[in-house]
Structure 1
Amino acid sequence: MTTDLQARITALTERLHHLNYQYYQRDISEIPDQEFDQLLAELAELEKQHPELAHPNSPTQRVGGTITKQFPTAAHRYPMLSLGNTYSEADLREFDERVQKGLEGADYAYVCELKFDGVAMSLTYEAGQLTQGVTRGDGTRGDVVTSSVRTIKNLPLHLRTAGPAQPPEFEVRGEIFMPLPVFAELNAEREENGEALLANPRNAASGALKLQDSALVAARRLRFYAYSFLMPGRSSLPTHSASLEALSAWGLPVSDTWRRCGSIAEVLDFVHEWDKKRFTLPVATDGIVIKIDDFRQQELLGYTAKSPRWAIAYKYPAEAGRTRLRDVQYQVGRTGAVTPVALLDPVPLAGTVVKRASMHNANQIAALDIRLNDMVFVEKGGEIIPKITGVDFTARPEDSQPIVYPTACPACNTPLIRPEGEAHFRCPNDRGCPPQRKAKLEHYVSRKALNIDGLGAETVGRFFDLGLVTDAASLYDLPAKAEELAQLDRMGEKSVQRLLAGLEQSKLVPFDQVLFGLGIRYVGETVAEKLANHYRTMEALMVATATELAAVPEVGGVIAESAAAWFQEPQNQELVARLRAAGVQLELTGEAPQAMSNRLEGLTFVLSGVFELHSRDELQALIEAHGGKITGSISKKLSYLVAGDKMGPAKREKATGFKVPIISEAELLAMLPAGPEATSAPAETADAAEDSAPSASNPTPIQGTGTQTSLF
């Protein structure tokens, strides 16, 4: 019986994988949708009854359903760094001359690929099965989002056996993106519902991958293109173009827009061809990546201090349009900043129709001398965000009048202020201005703050409009309104239960995230963490003076003044008291970290580059555990610059100019007391240290020229 069930599950799994490949890779529908759905439903039912027989990469995983309260992180075997870029064709010719010189006249070819505007992703396949998906993160570690990646329909969970022999384990780099029609459809739906519009497809794709519920990720209809193949040791594939063909043969989606070019003239032809043609694609693009095709020639050319000598990215200049400015709308943000938005006659631009554009602030309006009814030039920054860049003065009407910036808040009519040295006018009515209050609530529930499951920005904004919530503390009164919430459109009992569970879970969020979630001006994630670690409790933090706050590392005078003023306000003190009564974490739990020694007391350090034995976070923890301090800038007061591999030349030059000693990781460790604790990371980072240490299972990339090969 079990053998028959296993055979049926395996047969259904293989059949559905094949049908998915045919549909999403080759645009072939072998069977009607209804028949496909019946097969999928049968497999889902069998897996439900016999979960122990389900395949790890079952096609049923594509519909989502996994709930992830947090994403673990993983170290990249090969760091995911970035390419340098240029907007100049002359630079491309100079690049070609350097390649020719470096290869000493040998024949060579390039591969040109469109630079898709999405989220870089590292995928691991073992024995043909997808086992892990990791975001770029900081380049050395990223978030593990495997459950989200499995929902991407054109990404194979199980590879085909066609083409060259597959290694037992290898890595695929590529771009996850939201197709432009999906993005447009999603924004149209949000606009109809009165929700905030998504800024661009790249941000939409990134946000979708971080959704806690993989079923919601699946609903965003993301797609994937592969552009790089890596494996331990040396591959039998001699060229980048051969690796792209192999990936495609194995069933991975590789855009068919790439081309092998035998000269820089052919490269420039490719660049010119796609300058306009790229707007016909269903995915945002912003340039061309040009790479030497032969892997051995890549090894020969090697790297500069910051980038490979064998690759370069050409970025297309932003496309400009000309249209008439009809009106100006003023939007109020979380901090009270009043931002002007231009309302334009519709103009086609970079593949879309633009009706609105940023005008930045009053200074920019004055600098460009923009007036109502002017003919203005509009560009898309990064091919996504429209902005006014100039005025066609030859078409200015004779009776035109300068734009008069409002003196009162467009939302609450409070007189605006303009703090000295700032470009924005601001509404000071932060407790009574509706857009500010709503934005503060949206910030409090956001992923990097309280991260309340089931209560995103749109939902909490809707609750505010309905008068169900007024501030962060009032969110914890929602359980008493459960019946009322369940009666709202698009809510229902399950949504309410999820929301209430998310609220309860938010009471476990660490103090530093709560502090960040309060939205105190200038107090970002890093500053909130520093203040929380220094004061440990909200009580201690609230009574600190501005002078005392400014003494905390990385907390300057402006930040200190803003935080001290916030805590002195009676309304904010009341808010904190209500949060405490609700059970929110307002102190760090556990014992404060114990110092290992005072050997580095009075010394300040800057860390730069990639280190061999420890990650940057681990080295920072070691320095602080021995009494030292970390800073982000190089000055005459700096004690040491700790230089790792691939450190940029600018920092080295600046440190040399200030006569700051430059030391290696080994020299830093030699400054610490002798003993195992001296060169070990603190307990909470020991696992990360083990992951990043060189070992037999952590070899160099296939091209063999160092870790930067992983860029591509």
Structure 2
Amino acid sequence: MQDARAVDTLSEEEAEVELANLAATLLKANLDYHADDAPRLSDADYDMLKARNSAIEARFPNLKRADSPSDMVGAAPSGGFGKIAHAQRMMSLGNAFNPEEIAEFDERVRKYLGLGANAPLAYTAEPKIDGLSLSLRYEQGALVQAATRGDGAVGENVTANARTVVSIPQTLTGTRDILPDILEVRGEIYMSHADFEALNKRQNEAGAKIFANPRNAAAGSLRQLDAEITRARPLAFFAYAWGELSAPLADTQFGAIERLKNLGFSTNPLTVLCHGVDDLLAHYADIEQQRASLGYDIDGVVYKVDNLDLQRRLGYRSTTPRWAIAHKFPAELAWSRLEAIDINVGRTGALSPVARLTPVTVGGVVVSNATLHNEDYIAGRGGDGVEIRDGKDIRVGDWVQVYRAGDVIPKIADVDLSKRPPDAQPFAFPTICPECGSDAIREEGDAVRRCSGGLICPAQAVEKLKHFVSRGAFDIEGLGAKQVEMFYHDDQLAIRTPADIFTLKARDDENLTKLANRDGWGETSARNLFAAIDERRTVPLARLIFALGIRHVGEVAAADLARHFGSWQALVDAVDAAGPAAARHLSADEAEAKERRIAAQESRRARIKPARDAVWDGIGDAARIAWSDLTGIDGIGATVAVALVTAFGQTAERASIDRLVAELTIEDAAAPDTANSPVAGKTVVFTGTLEKMTRAEAKARAESLGAKVSGSVSARTDILVAGPGAGSKATKAAELGVKTMDEDAWLALIGGT
């Protein structure tokens, strides 16, 4: 899930990164939902992420991407069907989640139309069917084509399949003189609960695919390449809108729906005419009460301005009409017994708790698992330390309320303490990885605890190995992601750690037949791979550091570390020496996090700093110096330093690294030419705004002259270069007697070198 920080606290750089992540996540979700009929992201989570994307774009309009999710409708049509261009684009709907947003919608409409708060304004309200959008084109009263929404502009040609759906008329009702020449009807393909249950029973008896919910079953059934399969599936269709018309259907939305009904289409009987926000909300409440007994899935109520002339005046935004909105229901709920809490380790090392439940049906889906997010959530705390669920923790044996929105893994909303077993114990979240036994570390500001085992953790190994051989790392020709997967599961020539790559040839026989005899390989390709591996036995220091895949250590940080320490041994010595200080830093973070939780509940913020100061007592000078040196490297800091110390400090991980290093010749980082340099060997800090060069240029120039660039001021700082806006660093430099100069003086100092 994405960053939960308030949008107004994001920097422009952070906002740009998050918008890129949101675009990728929402694009994948659209493809899963619209193209593959296999959504993995819940409707609620999708709506939340899309709303956050819009909020960030509103604050940083200059950062809006060309592939912004705000402009997306559906997904590109599948290559398995012919394509049909919609005569009029199929739009999506904006969402609302509470009465206040409905009132705001009404206010926006009235303001746009110039209507006062008490002026009459009618709306239609209809259930929002949870199915697959479909467009049906009729010419002279006969069905000529049917298309899915696709990406809104182009959909899939499913005409043959649509003709098998009983509730889709092949010809319209009425005499030729009253039928429109062109009528494009839009609506939703769906499957009733009873038909869904019967279908899954038949599928199970035949050993075929079981569908997760009626929406997936309906979408998968309509999008069959064999129309006879669609014919055997119990699909239904509700009409609720239109596209291209040769003549208007009516003057109002409600009248047009009645006209569609008279032409032979099934329309939803719960569609009503409302006058004002109170009427809309009353009908919403009425439909919500009937929801469980409707016999088909809905996920909200759609409100539309009734007068079609007013709809035309209101028009559209890029992807949504101004005259309509979907009032979404809250996630569906059920109660079940929590039988166990399991810990799954993901490919990034994240320890994710999963609730194992007594199976229960939630919104038409049998649920036996639910996410528990993280250890704070189990303990009854939110990400900000404030209590959730009134501070009630979650324990094995509890009676818990489960909610679902979509068919992804559900969540737990509440706990019934009156049914808690007397012997139920608070859940002890593991601090050791259940997969490999390495420490599971929770960094400051991170809601997730992560395994530090890295390359030796089975849950992470394959992804770490793929990173190790990637282009920015060892870049071994012929050993890519696909080959890594193959070798990882090979019993004879297994590659489970990076060192195994460099012992691969020695583990084959004299004629290399073990590898040469495998599918996809031969003697030539085997020899080429072993030659490529040998070429990478000599590796630059920065590439090695990056290849280890240590969290937070990307290519830039790896280059900074290599440049600062020069050699592998110098880096190892510094990281080892900083170990005690890093451990205390983590302890201080945990102590501070605990105090912040207390402060959030009790407003005792004065207790935070003493907790951090006390935990640092007793650290030796060597550890303090090493820690200060490591964290003082510009661009490194405590987060990267802790990640390095943690990775090097794990016994199994360290043994894996040592085995790798024994197979390699590591090239020291090139020392800068410091002849005649006035700053060689000096530690420099830049602060404030530099006006004649970027911070990156200044850093690179200083390092090329043999200076060490630090991100913080200390007693070992030689020069502080202070531009406009210099703050606390300038104050600290003055206190320590550090030489301070402006940008012009710095350029004059180094200008002749």
The higher-RCO structure (CA 8 Å, 6+ apart) is 1
Bigger Rg, structure 1 or 2: 2
TM-score interval, smaller chain: 0.3 to 0.5
TM-score normalised to the size of structure 1? 0.47
